[in-house]
Amino acid sequence: MTYLYSDGTEMGKDVPTGGNRQILAANQIPDVVKKAVIATEDASFETNSGFDVGGILRAAYNQVTGGSGGGSTISQQYIKNASGDDDPTLARKWVELAKSFKMNQTYEKADIITAYLNIIYFGRGAYGIQAAAQAYFGKDVGQLDYSQSALLAGLIQQPGRSENTAVATSRWNTALDRMLKNGYLTQAQRAAAKFPTPIPLRESREAGALNPFIKKQVKAELAAQGIDEKQYYSGGFQVFTTIDPQAQQSAEKAVAEGMADQTDDRILNALVAVDPKSGGVLAYYGGDAIVKGPNGEDQAGRDWADEPHNPGSSMKPFDLAAFLKLGRGLDARFDGTSPRTFPGVDLPIRNAGDSSSCSQQCTVAEAMQRSTNTVFYDMVLNVTKPSGVAEAAQEAGIRTSDNGGRSKLFTGDNNISIGGGGTQVTAADMASGYATFAANGVQRDRHFVQKVTNANGETAYEAKDRSADAFADNDPQKSAQIAGNVTAALAPVIQFSKLSCPAGHECAGKTGTQQHTPQNDEPASAANANSQTWMVGYTPSVSAAVWVGSDGDKALRGPNGAPLFGSTLAGPIWDRFMQLYLSGKPGERFDRVAAISSPQDRVQVQVQQPQQQQNQPDQRDQRQPGNRQQADQLEQFRQFQQRLQELQNRQRGRNGNGNGNGGQNGGVSVPSGTPDPNPGG
């Protein structure tokens, strides 16, 4: 199977490791293997004539009623796999039956089961029992025991899910139970059986090899569309992915440069970029494909882009979206001082440093810029509730186990407000969630595959646009207004965090940091360390999430011993990626929307874009010079900016900290963090 980038250039080929299968003679396959397969796939194999009447009737009934499941014998399965004809029609089934019957009249059963075991697909790219024995257990088929034989027999029905331990264990148990039922195992053997853990799935280290994490995501996406490994390995398929070669190269380069000086091998990383206009994944970096094991051996790395982590303050935009859905605005005020106590909360809530704190009349706009924990904790506890934040996050594209994802949105306490506790999100989901803000409140499903063609160039699958108005059902204007207000709040965070937008491109984003929880056996300095850091940001054309952190809660520090923050490592990697990827591309600006404000929130404000973005020509207006409504919105936006500047100047004057140089993110609610030398939420 050939993988192609979004521009049609070749990414690489995925050749099954068992493609050059070894053909074995009947006497080379042990009886225990044959019996395991017969018991699991076709218990009447030794006595039937190549077909099973009951199975055929079930297949006919399911064909008529639209049900699933058939009743193919081993002989019929061999005919289907040898011919490559998998047409789900009764006509094909009758031809298969006739050929199976004739084969059983012509050949011995020993020859049929041997031919079957030489051709059938077992997963891991392994065709035939010898290739499967090598792929799963690193041994020849003659060395397999009954437990290993049972696992391979069980995987015949679900080869594409062989790496799912729960599925593999279930299929193994099914095979053992059928072996016992058919008299191929004793009760003692069944009771003593232990799951035969396969050897690790090694990834190729050859130059030009496919990115294993992209390949895994593509295969999972195809499987969800009913296209399994057997089809695309044997059908000469071409997969046109959404991966932009320039974006992928920029991602890998940005990470490599950003991590070059880091000496702590516990520091892991991931970067995912998504196209807000389509939901297509532009770049996907999940970490090193090959890592060293505990004994120095090579082993497959983990896809850290698909592992959930505490998001810290990068969760706050979803707090804000939930708040805006209730009709409240950026001009709403909360007490931004630190520490603060809340009814029913055991410990005080603290901001992460002096520059993260605000006045007792802190606007939501300034609280987002400063990443003021006490404001967002108050907002969620007393206004939106944790469930409101979880709802907004899911509407934006965060996938929990309820909708096929891996992220966790814990609503049992209020720590979701600052991205701590049981709330954990993947980098892929964060890129998708922020992409919804970039897309004017339109949520588009994240995907890796544009289309798939077969050997004849015919389209076997093509992705369809699956989109929704994220924050207001069937009300695109309101959803866009909510998203636009979130963008307005996030725009100044870029400059506040000492990051930058690519020249000519407006951008917005949020850093995040999760503080390490020190253990009793750790030194006192561990209390000032962090374990997870983030930068998630976007322009109208790309949303990118960068995670730099540890596997679990480990105290991470840079080479100079200083704690890591979202703005000190993840932030610069994000900045570098955006600069590399967008260099030379046409400038872009966010759509302007009206501010959301309620009677409770009297003063209208609008967060200005970073200074270097001001006075850029409005390219969107140039494309549509006759759009009066758009011009009115632009003027409204500019007035908004002026009002905010006046408000911020007055507020800084009251606080006496108008020249303060920033703050840092705090991702947890209890101990205060170490001041960040590079400010930003």
Q: Are 170 and 161 in contact (CB under 8 A)?
A: no
Residues 6, 41, 479, 497: which is the catalytic one? 41
Known catalytic membership, residue 355: no
Q: Are 532 and 513 in contact (CB under 8 A)?
A: yes
Q: Are 387 and 411 in contact (CB under 8 A)?
A: yes
* Chain-centre distance for alpha carbon 231: 25
Cα angle, residue 531 at apex, residues 530 and 532 outer, rounded to 5°: 105
Residue 245 to residues 20, 194, 219, 281, 287, Cα–Cα distance (Å) = 31, 45, 19, 11, 17
Q: How many CB atoms lie within 10 A of CB 154?
A: 26
Bridge partners of 126, per DSSP, are 18
How many residues in the chain? 681
Crossing angle of helices 316-325 and 427-438, in 10° steps, is: 40
Known catalytic membership, residue 417: no
Q: Indicate the helix (H) or strand (E) that contains 74.
A: helix 74-83
Residue 257 to residues 167, 348, 618, Cα–Cα distance (Å) = 40, 39, 34
Tell the residue number behind the tokens 């055929």, with chain if given: 56
Q: Indicate the helix (H) or strand (E) that contains 325.
A: helix 316-325
State how far the Cα of 282 lies from the Cα of 502, in Å rounded to an integer: 18
Phi, psi torsion values for 599, nearest 5 degrees? -55, -25
Residues 72, 100, 147, 313: which is the catalytic one? 313
In sign, the C-alpha dihedral spanning 662, 667, 673, 678 is: negative
State how far the Cα of 75 lies from the Cα of 97, in Å rounded to an integer: 9
Q: Are 397 and 436 in contact (CB under 8 A)?
A: yes
Q: Indicate the helix (H) or strand (E) that contains 4.
A: strand 2-4
Q: Indicate the helix (H) or strand (E) that contains 508.
A: strand 508-515
Q: Are 368 and 407 in contact (CB under 8 A)?
A: no
Of the candidates 18, 1, 23, 19, the one whose C-alpha atom is nearest the C-alpha of residue 10 is 1
Which residue type does 639 have?
Q
In the numeric block, which tokens belong to residue 328?
């409240």
134: helix, coil or strand? helix
Which residue type does 196 have?
P
Phi, psi torsion values for 425, nearest 5 degrees? -135, 145
Which residue type does 606 have?
Q
Q: String of b and e for 333-364 (b: at least 16 CB within 10 Å)?
A: bbebebebebeebeeebbbbbebbbbbeebbb
Q: Indicate the helix (H) or strand (E) that contains 372.
A: none
CA terminus-to-terminus distance, the chain: 44
Q: Indicate the helix (H) or strand (E) that contains 187.
A: helix 187-192
In sign, the C-alpha dihedral spanning 513, 514, 517, 518 is: negative
Of the candidates 662, 665, 664, the one whose C-alpha atom is nearest the C-alpha of residue 420 is 665
Q: Give residue 377's region: left, alpha or beta (phi > 0; psi -120 to 50).
A: alpha
Active site residues: 41, 313
